[in-house]
Amino acid sequence: MMDKIEVKAMKLSLISYKDDEAYYSYCPALELIGYGDNEQESQDSFNIVLEEYIRYTTENQTLIADLESLGWKKIGKKLKPPEIAESLQKNNEFNSIFNNYDFVKRSIPVHIPFV
């Protein structure tokens, strides 16, 4: 029998930028990216990627291990995403985006199920 799933609402940073003719929406805390022909398409694509990531890792019971491998830390019974500064040091993709592109950072609400 599967343990009770508790869904936690949290805010994560989403970085939006344009490279050549494509728009991207990137979440450094999850290392997930969406893209499209405009900013809205990239956000919609990101939402699909996020849903699939949560579905897959939840079904395979690998969500917590995956988040920890991405630098999330357990604080009591909660998991906390890595700070932006931490992500910049450890994540070459994010470091490249941060240093080479004009971007907009905003917080987005995310609901992550924890088992």
Show the domains of the chain with their CATH numbers. Answer: 11-109 (3.30.160)
Specify the pLDDT at position 1: 35
* Residue 56 token pair: 């897959």
Give CA separation, 71 vs 4, 23, 83, 110, in Å: 24, 26, 9, 17
Record the pTM: 0.87
pLDDT in tens, 79-95: 899 999 999 999 999 99
For residue 15, pLDDT over 50 is answered with yes
DSSP bridge partners of 12? 108
Q: How many residues does the chain have?
A: 115
For residue 78, pLDDT over 90 is answered with no
